[in-house]
Chains A and B, each alone.
Chain A
Amino acid sequence: MKLKLKIWRQKNSTSKGSIVNYDVDNISPNMSFLEMLDQLNSTLIKNDESPVAFDHDCREGICGSCSLYINGQAHGPDRAITTCQLHMRKFKDGDTIFIEPFRATSFPVIKDLIVDRSAFDRIQHAGGYISVNTSGNTQDANSIPINKTDADNAFDAATCIGCGACVATCKNSSAMLFVGAKISQYALLPQGKVEASDRVTKMIDQMDLEGFGNCSNTGACEVECPKGISLDNIARMNRELMKSKVL
């Protein structure tokens, strides 16, 4: 396949970026999207040009680093996948593909297609954990009965890989799907309920401090989430905050 790529190039976090056009040839439909970018970079290096910087790690849809906005959608046109799971067979010969970094004030661009998503880490540090005394007599979690629905919902929420597609997709750059999932995965389990009130307050405070926008329930985040995290988690987060502050 022959493709026209329009890629966001930006030298560093302080410089002004722009879209640069590239033509790529001999692209196999069986290549992953990242392999296609690898091929482009090989050509650029051969021509003594600076390769396109992009984040990647596991290349099997787990790490959530490959944060690319492809043809106007987070992780590209396919559903429930990360960029590394996107294959070139989703495109046609001669297509023009826009490749941009995830955009949000809280996700500043570091270089080209790489953004700084450490805001998510700071939200997680604020309260996304369970304090456990590991002195040796800690109760085995498997010995605590939990109903199936709660266990399933907690597990579904815990599958969030923190890739940031929700923020990138949201027209308001809201991080509420991510925070909702992180709050839900603990709020539904008996171990997490002990610190539920503190957790929801601290994580939401940190989310606001990081400058993320407000959720306006467009549902775009749920559609683009590679792990299918449900909007129900945002509703649960709202309930958890009301419970902690009003009740």
Chain B
Amino acid sequence: MSVFFNTSIARKISMALSAIFLMVFLLQHFAINFTSVFSSDTFNEISHFMGTNPLVQFVLQPILIIGVIFHFVMGFILEFINHRSSKVKYAYNNGSANSSWMSRNMIWSGLAILSFMLLHFADFWFPEIDAKFIQGDWEGGKIMVDGILTGEYRYFTELQHKFSYAPRVIFYCIAFCFLSLHLMHGFTSAFQSMGSTIGRKKVLLNLSYAYSICIPLGFVFIALYHFFNH
């Protein structure tokens, strides 16, 4: 098994597995965020459940963090190996004649997503960790009065507050464009790396375009919706 993970193909397969895992997570993340558009209560309830459920917090969240870190680290490792393999460049290369821009620039779209994630973590994840694990707020901002939890959950208010700042919304929108480009190649590429030719079939190609356009566009819509309705 250890020999298997030393091969170039094993690195590809592990990259693809982490990509598929992250795409499933992204879909779930979008579904939850989208509830904020039509019901603040639903969004608050789901956010509270996800933020306090032990299975999500102590099992799924660490797996997600490992998945994200693994995907980025492996991406850099692959890029380093690929750079070493093709040190001397052509004086004239017509890359667009045989491949898409997205497929040739996964590292750049990936870096754009990474920079977005750093901001996203600073915006939402670190404050959430601080609130729960340092300040001990496991009730989502509600206060105990006479043995009864009163007030409102803080999640929706925080979301609206973050998206009231125009530069942040613009940055998010740009980052989602890069996410879309990354997914346009990454979606089908992951299946190919897993040894499946289904990624080249028309049905999956269409599904790939649908996913890589609709999900980032949906996130852009959520950000703009809250910016204009806060």
Contacts and interface: CB of A to CB of B under 8 A. Distances in A.
B58 interface: no
A72 B192 contact: no
B7 A217 contact: no
Interface in A65-105: 69, 71-73, 77, 98, 100, 103-105
A169 interface: yes
B196 to A, nearest CB: 6
Given A104-B86, A204-B9, A213 B81 contact: yes
A238 B13 contact: yes
Contacts of A218: 98-100, 103-104, 185
Contact of A72 (B9, B94, B193): B94
A171 B82 contact: yes
Contacts of B92: 6, 71-72, 98, 100
B82 A103 contact: no
A246 interface: yes
A190 interface: no
Given A204-B9, A237-B9, A242-B195, A213 B185 contact: no
Contact of B91 (A19, A215, A217): A19
Interface stretch (A22-30, A49-57, A122-130, A228-236): A228-236
Contacts of A77: 97
B192 A105 contact: no
A104 B83 CA distance: 10
Give the most central of A8, A208, A223, A236: most B CB within 10 Å. A208
A103 B4 contact: no
A214 B104 contact: no
A207 B90 CA distance: 23
Interface string A168-195: 0111111010000000000000000000
B8 A207 contact: yes
A37 interface: no
Interface in B205-219: none
Given A207-B8, A231-B192, A236-B195, A6 B88 contact: no
Give the interface centre of A72, A77, A205 by most chain B CB atoms within 10 Å.
Answer: A72
A214 B95 contact: no
B90 A69 contact: yes
Given A98-B91, A216-B106, A216-B189, A204 B86 contact: no
Contact of A214 (B4, B81, B94, B98): B81
Interface residues of B, number: 43
A214 B193 CA distance: 11
B135 interface: no
Contacts of A241: 4, 7, 9-10
A211 B84 contact: yes
B82 to A, nearest CB: 4
A220 interface: yes
B197 A242 contact: no
A61 to B, nearest CB: 19
Contact of A6 (B85, B91, B98, B193): B91
A173 B84 CA distance: 9
A173 B8 CA distance: 13
A148 interface: no
A169 B93 CA distance: 9
A98 B92 CA distance: 7
Interface string A130-173: 00000000000000000000000000000000000000011111
B32 interface: no
B195 A235 contact: yes
A238 B90 contact: no
A208 B94 contact: no
A78 to B, nearest CB: 11
10 closest Cβ contacts across the A-B interface?
Answer: A72-B94, A213-B85, A239-B195, A172-B82, A238-B195, A223-B98, A218-B103, A218-B99, A245-B4, A173-B86
Interface of A: 6, 8, 19, 69, 71-73, 77, 98, 100, 103-106, 169-174, 176, 204-205, 207-208, 211-220, 223-224, 231-232, 234-239, 241-242, 245-246
6 contacts: A105-B85, A171-B82, A176-B9, A214-B78, A219-B98, A245-B1
